[in-house]
Structure 1
Amino acid sequence: MAEVNLNRLAIFVTLVRAGSFTAAAEQLGTTKAMVSQHLARLEDELGVQLLVRSTRRMSLTDAGERFHEDCVRIVADAEAAIAQVGECRDSPMGVLRVAAAEDHGPSIVAPALAEFARHYPRVRVDLVIGDRLVDLIAERIDLSIRIGWLRDSSLRAAKLAGFRQCLVAAPDYLARHGAPRVPADLAEHAWIALTVLSSPTRWTFTDESGADHSVQTRPVASANGTLAAHAFVLAGLGVSVLPDYVVEDDLANGRLVALLPGHELPDGGVYAVYPGKHPPVKVRAFIDLLKQRLGRS
């Protein structure tokens, strides 16, 4: 049997429903001859006669009746599938799988996902926490929330917010080692290196006049996650640079001290990264929600 053109199934269903070639042609926006041609080719592909035609009427053969019943179901299922895809395009539904790092996933992304799930009950949210760089396509991740500076990538990104980099140390450490007065002093201090950064030990500060000051630090400990580096600093092990959203409470209550006033580091960014040029509506809606929440914070 030759391969059957499935488009002709819908034409066959329309023809039977319309009751004539002329009426079917009007509904399909084509000609009576084209409808007749499609039917003839369908019968050739199937190897059976579906309709008995005369000048005034047409009727289904036994094989045509059985085949028509199946075609009606197939066409209805296809229409339902198309409608469901349309709903997915217009309204968030299904699973939204988001990846985020340990320092901001629980505190920033999880509350946003909870609000998103309340707004869109047809969406099930799935948060993947970890500091490694995930493969969005291979791991079926809809979007990843990344902090810092984006590397060159074929992925698309939307900037959600910015953050300040803060040079900090614990009061206990400063009592034992003193505070640095200029960036060059950091070369003599114990440094906590965050290894996920592209340059975890070399830093460039900008002073109030706009001049840059680079320094190579000496790490006494390293960590591959921001929260682990934060714990080292809180314990008085050394000095490090941490995001403002991690240390703001510690600075407010005195658990940490900001160092080198008058010297700044480049601001970082919070990005939503996703594959594909046109993200689904659930991804676009969550990005909009995150922008609103981060804009209020």
Structure 2
Amino acid sequence: MADVNLNRLGVFVTLVRAGSFTAAAQQLGSTKAMVSQHLAKLEEELGVQLVVRSTRRMSLTDAGERFHEDCARVLADAEAAIAQLGECRDTPMGSLRVAAAGDHGPSIVAPALADFAARFPQVKVELVTSDSVVDLIAERFDLSIRIGWLRDSSLRAAKLASFRQCLVASPAYVAKHGAPRVPEDLAAHAWIALTVLSSPTRWTFFSAGDEAEHTVQTRTVASANSTLGVHAFVAAGLGVSVLPDYLVDEDISAGRLVALLPRFRLPEGGVYAVYPGKQPPVKVRAFIDLLKERLAGSSG
């Protein structure tokens, strides 16, 4: 069977359906002699006569009839597989496995995945939250939603949105220790460090008017490896820290947190969809488009 040219199965099935070598050659865009040659080679490879030929007609042997039924089924299955592959190329389907951090995974990515699953019921969605940077290829993720600043990587990334970094403290902390007036004052305040950052204790602020840089080294009293952990420490009045706007805007509006140093700003961060490969599959492209749509709507 390793010596059988499977392309000749299609010639054989076409010959049987067409009923003659001449008609089969027309359907295949070939010649009568070429069709006859393919059949002879196939019979030689199989070691079985499939067709009885005469000057006026052709007929199948018993082996040829059984073999034609099997070949027709195999070719039909192949055509169906090719059609399904085309659907996979054009329509989101299968599974979509997404990694996201613990803060924005439940609040931002999970609702978007629910919307995506409703729009594309042929897709099974899975969200994995982790504050560590996952290996997309080794852990078989379709994409990761990352917050902040991307490191150099062979992965592809699409920017979805931006966010503000907010310096915050609890009202109780401000009442007890006062509010800093300039970034340099932060050196004397209790700092809550986010350890997953490349520089969790050294920060550079920019003046709103002249864009002058103000770099300060903070004094850590507690640390956490997630923004949710830092948020909990700050809300409890333990110290001051920087958190993303999507995590603290409601707290500031409700008075649960206080925004500090309003005349200074920190660099904006980005929300990115990161995926392996040059061309993401249609399910990944569709989810990225949906996330952009939702994030643009929430910021407008």
> Which TM-score band (shorter chain)?
over 0.9
Which residue is equivalent to 1:199?
199
TM-score, L = length of structure 1? 0.95
SS at match of 1:102: coil
Which residue is equivalent to 2:52?
52
Q: Please state how far the C-alpha of 1:3 moved relative to its aligned partner.
A: 2.6
Q: Please state how far the C-alpha of 1:21 moved relative to its aligned partner.
A: 2.0
Q: Please state how far the C-alpha of 1:264 moved relative to its aligned partner.
A: 0.8
Which residue is equivalent to 1:134?
134
Q: Unaligned 5+ residue runs, structure 2?
A: none
Q: Unaligned 5+ residue runs, structure 1?
A: none
Which residue is equivalent to 2:236?
235
Matched, 1:11 2:11: yes
1:30-69 matches, cutoff 5 A: 30-69=30-69
SS at match of 1:27: helix
Q: Distance in 2 between matches of 1:25 and 1:131?
A: 63
Q: Distance in 2 between matches of 1:266 and 1:31?
A: 71
1:16-165 matches, cutoff 5 A: 16-165=16-165
SS at match of 1:273: strand
Q: Is the 8 A contact 1:9 1:71 kept in 2?
A: yes
Q: Distance in 2 between matches of 1:2 and 1:162?
A: 57
Residues 184/245 of structure 1: CA separation in 2 closer, same or farther (3 Å cut): same
Residue-by-residue CA offset, 1:108-155 (whole Å, 9 max, x unaligned): 111111111111122221111111211212222111111111111111
Q: Please state how far the C-alpha of 1:2 moved relative to its aligned partner.
A: 4.2
Matched, 1:290 2:287: no
Q: Please state how far the C-alpha of 1:249 moved relative to its aligned partner.
A: 0.7
Q: Is the 8 A contact 1:190 1:219 kept in 2?
A: yes
SS at match of 1:35: helix
Q: Please state how far the C-alpha of 1:251 moved relative to its aligned partner.
A: 0.5
Q: Is the 8 A contact 1:192 1:239 kept in 2?
A: yes
Q: Distance in 2 between matches of 1:37 and 1:188?
A: 91
The amino acid of 1:239's aligned partner reads V
SS at match of 2:40: helix
Residue-by-residue CA offset, 1:12-39 (whole Å, 9 max, x unaligned): 2112111122222222222333322322
Q: Distance in 1 between matches of 2:239 and 2:32?
A: 84
Q: Please state how far the C-alpha of 1:199 moved relative to its aligned partner.
A: 1.6
The amino acid of 2:30's aligned partner reads T
Q: Please state how far the C-alpha of 1:252 moved relative to its aligned partner.
A: 0.4
Q: Please state how far the C-alpha of 1:92 moved relative to its aligned partner.
A: 1.4
Q: Is the 8 A contact 1:2 1:45 kept in 2?
A: no
Q: Is the 8 A contact 1:206 1:212 kept in 2?
A: yes
TM-score, L = length of structure 2? 0.94
Q: Distance in 2 between matches of 1:7 and 1:97?
A: 38
Which residue is equivalent to 1:267?
268
Please, which moves more after superposition, 2-11 or 168-177? 2-11
The amino acid of 2:233's aligned partner reads F
SS at match of 2:160: strand
Identity rate, percent: 80
Q: Distance in 1 between matches of 2:213 and 2:25?
A: 76
The amino acid of 1:220's aligned partner reads V
The amino acid of 1:42's aligned partner reads L
Q: Please state how far the C-alpha of 1:163 moved relative to its aligned partner.
A: 0.4
Q: Distance in 2 between matches of 1:30 and 1:198?
A: 66
The amino acid of 2:232's aligned partner reads A
SS at match of 1:271: strand
Q: Is the 8 A contact 1:2 1:46 kept in 2?
A: no
SS at match of 2:243: strand
Q: How many residues align?
A: 297
Q: CA RMSD in A?
A: 1.4
The amino acid of 1:175's aligned partner reads A
Q: Is the 8 A contact 1:8 1:38 kept in 2?
A: yes
Residue-by-residue CA offset, 1:38-79 (whole Å, 9 max, x unaligned): 222222222222222222222222222221111111111111
Q: Please state how far the C-alpha of 1:195 moved relative to its aligned partner.
A: 1.4
Which residue is equivalent to 1:167?
167
